[in-house]
A and B are shown apart, each in its own frame.
Chain A
Amino acid sequence: ETGVTQSPTHLIKTRGQQVTLRCSSQSGHNTVSWYQQALGQGPQFIFQYYREEENGRGNFPPRFSGLQFPNYSSELNVNALELDDSALYLCASSPVQDGRVSFFGQGTRLTVV
């Protein structure tokens, strides 16, 4: 049990739609990172938020955006969904800003049809 929860666990959306995925981090963890994991691949860093500000971004287009809230929750928003966006989306929180131990949620499995 990592103390990080994600919702929903599974989601099916249609190409072109928008989706919001949610994450609730551990209390006191002011850093949250989001990752995309395609089937059979390792996680790919999307972005990180620190104290409600975007604090680093991977090679993802602007239609991937996020928010972090003062209550240690965060959102990942994806606009104009494409079939290739089908993946497991993982949220990870950490009490520190640098790339040390991260606590992961169970992920949201997104399927775009």
Chain B
Amino acid sequence: SQQGEEDPQALSIQEGENATMNCSYKTSINNLQWYRQNSGRGLVHLILIRSNEREKHSGRLRVTLDTSKKSSSLLITASRAADTASYFCATGDAGNNRKLIWGLGTSLAVNP
């Protein structure tokens, strides 16, 4: 079963704009990660935020985590056409550290 949902399911923006994606989850977590997937191929890790952190930055990426609302957001600033991909959040289950539980993903299209 899926952990939660990404919102929106699909997002289309122009190059240079910012893209914000949200993720909600259901259970207690140790950490939350964001991954990127191009054209239904392998997933690439973008950023990990621990449950005791509220915000984290990596280059053009900014991730926030609100454990009271069981939600996270991924902001991509100054988007590029090469950012076009599907973005997934995955949570490390606090009760079972052995697996990642995934959302359904947000499909991002950045138009040149």
Contacts and interface: CB of A to CB of B under 8 A. Distances in A.
12 contacts: A2-B44, A33-B100, A41-B104, A42-B88, A42-B102, A42-B104, A44-B102, A88-B40, A90-B43, A99-B91, A104-B44, A106-B41
Interface of A: 2, 4, 33, 35, 37, 39-45, 48, 50, 55-56, 58-59, 88, 90, 92, 97-107, 109
Contacts, number: 83
Given A99-B93, A101-B33, A48 B98 contact: yes
Determine chain A's interface SS by DSSP, over half rule: loop
Given A45-B100, A99-B99, A100-B48, A106 B92 contact: no
Contacts of A99: 30-31, 90-93, 96-100
Determine chain B's interface SS by DSSP, over half rule: strand
Interface of B: 1-2, 30-31, 33, 35, 40-45, 48, 88, 90-93, 96-105
Minimum-distance CB pairs A-B, first 7:
A99-B92, A56-B98, A42-B102, A98-B97, A106-B42, A45-B99, A104-B42
